[in-house]
Structure 1
Amino acid sequence: MLKPKIRKGTFQHVESELYAYHDTRKEIVRLKNEILYATATPDNNGGGRSSLPSDPTGRTATLMVSHRRIEQMERIVEAIESVVDRLPKDKSDMIKMRYWARPQTLTWEGIALNLHISRRQIMNWRDDIIEAITDKIGWR
């Protein structure tokens, strides 16, 4: 049975998540630390100002929203890692060159030349990887 095609917006969203992968991992750690240290010291003795509201209800609501946000970011990161970790070296190199290299210096054509394959093959690899991540996250 044929899978439904990924919508353009979903494709672009997953691709943007690939670009933001390392930043998302850092944000997860930051949010977890914020929750951990804000709840461990409710009166914030000796610390700077907490970013959490001072009223208990507001604090609880903020922590719940942060927790949901962390869960969503973790699902995305885990999906990306699961797919990329199983890729052959040439395909994972393509991901690193296109999405994780800073500054981004290579075009799709440049990446294809580096990997000694055609631009069309690179685009097929990209499409397959985006589809696998989309399926793993559950966005299709």
Structure 2
Amino acid sequence: MRIIERYDIRKLEDYIINIDQYRKELKMREYELFENHEPDNPGGGKSNLPTSTIEIQTVRKLSDNRYVLLSNIVSGVDKLIVNAKEDTKDMIRLRYWECPIGCYEWEDIADYFGTSKTSILRRRNSMLLELADYIGYV
């Protein structure tokens, strides 16, 4: 069984907390990749690059490490949320996005669900391990 370290927990939770920011960065990176400020063929001659715009876009996306990382993060968090059970979705919402008064600590969330802090933290760890698998976090 894999063990999740403290710094891994912080990073994976950051992905969940700031998912909207990561979506914006992904869109911005996509814009940067496809906005062409240089002439297509400045020296003339025939290029050996693919001529299909879809092929060109796919090659640019997959060859850019930042775009691939952001895409993995966004798709991983989205997949986690879609595949999560209702109580896990509530836990994510309460802890990371909509922190109502009295739900800032894990003890408060455990009280909300009527369980212990240890069981809530176990659920959190399993959720974060699932997210790590989805995004390829090593």
Question: What is the TM-score when the length of structure 1 is the normalising length?
Answer: 0.68
Task: Give unpaired runs (5+ residues) of structure 2.
Answer: 40-59
Give, in angstroms, the shift of residue 32 of structure 1: 1.6
Residues 28-87 of structure 1 show CA distances to partners (whole Å, capped at 9, x for unaligned) of 112222333x31x548xxxxxxxxxxxxxxxxxxx88x9321110111121122122111
1:99 pairs with 2:96? yes
- CA distance in 1 between counterparts of 2:99 and 2:31 reads 26
1:116 pairs with 2:114? yes
Asked whether the 8 Å contact 1:98–1:104 carries over to 2, the reply is: no
Match for 1:16 among 10, 14, 17?
14
- CA distance in 2 between counterparts of 1:102 and 1:114 reads 12
Q: What is the match of residue 77 of structure 1?
A: 74
- What amino acid is aligned across from residue 137 of structure 1 in structure 2? I
Give, in angstroms, the shift of residue 126 of structure 1: 0.6
**RMSD of aligned residue pairs (Cα, Å):** 2.7
Q: Which runs of 4+ in 1 moved over 3 A?
A: 102-105
- CA distance in 2 between counterparts of 1:67 and 1:102 reads 35
Q: Percent identity?
A: 24
Give, in angstroms, the shift of residue 91 of structure 1: 0.7
- CA distance in 2 between counterparts of 1:100 and 1:42 reads 41
What count of residue pairs does the alignment treat as equivalent?
Answer: 116
Q: Which protein shows a greater Rg?
A: 2
1:134 pairs with 2:129? no
Question: What is the TM-score when the length of structure 2 is the normalising length?
Answer: 0.68
Structure 1 window deviating more from structure 2 (81-90 vs 111-120): it is: 111-120
* 3-state SS in 2 of match to 1:110: helix
